Amino acid sequence: MTRTRTMLAWMIRTGTSVLCRIDTGSLSDVPAHGPLILVMNHINSLEVPLLSAHLQPRQMTGVAKVETWANPLMGWLFDQWEAIPVRRGEADVLAVKRSLAVLAGGGILAVAPEGTRSYSGRLLRARPGVVTLALHSGAPILPVAHWGGEKFSGNLRRMRRTDFHIRVGRPFTLRDGGQRLTHEVRQAMVDEIMVELAALMPEFYRGDYSGFPTTQQYLQFV
């Protein structure tokens, strides 16, 4: 871990402790070693640096839309976090290879299957890209849900602290049962992943996964 990254983490932890009341107790359930696909919901730009800073000494690498690097400051920050740029809407083979390399090296790869910010905090229907990473790597998936960050901007304007909640679920791997991986099958797999994520959240935040059927046909808990 570079000194710059260590200093950034300290600054983020210090700054967010002033601006937020962060419930981080559940993060002790994140395994201390081994490859891990950390599946999370995506509200705004707060949760990635916050989670990355609080997971240290474990390093978390994430994927981010390539447009992020158009902003010089954000591009520099994401380079420090070793984020992987991905071209949305196309098969980005290089991004997949880099993601698999992180997992092969025993690292944490953070993925937000929704593919975009929800802003409201309520879950959106997921895209199945994470299924490819999970099946090719064999790495366990760990759902990590958070909520409260959707109120951050409004609270900041009113000089109020934001309650930021984090919940960690049970790790599991994906199994395909030897069937052909059609788009429908991959979508069913990611939906099962998102149901596990939704179960960690209050009902209001479950969004598109509120009342979603729970089958666990493709999940193998570890």
pLDDT tens for 51-77 read: 999 998 898 998 888 888 988 888 888
The pLDDT score that the predictor gives to residue 132 is 93
The pLDDT score that the predictor gives to residue 172 is 98
The pLDDT score that the predictor gives to residue 89 is 72
The pLDDT score that the predictor gives to residue 135 is 96
| pTM exceeds 0.75 for this model | yes
By 3-state DSSP, what share of the chain in percent is helix, strand and coil, each rounded to 5?
A: 45, 20, 35
Rg over alpha carbons for the chain, rounded to the nearest Å, is 17
**Regions of the chain where pLDDT drops below 50:** none
Which CA distances in Å does 12 have to 20, 54, 122, 167?
11, 9, 25, 20
Residue recorded with tokens 């049962």? 177
The pLDDT score that the predictor gives to residue 1 is 61
Domains of the chain: 3-221 (3.40.1130)
CB burial readout 175-191, b (16+ within 10 A) else e: eeeeeeeeeebbebbbb
Pair 216, 169: CB distance under 8 Å: no
Q: Which amino acid is at 132?
A: T
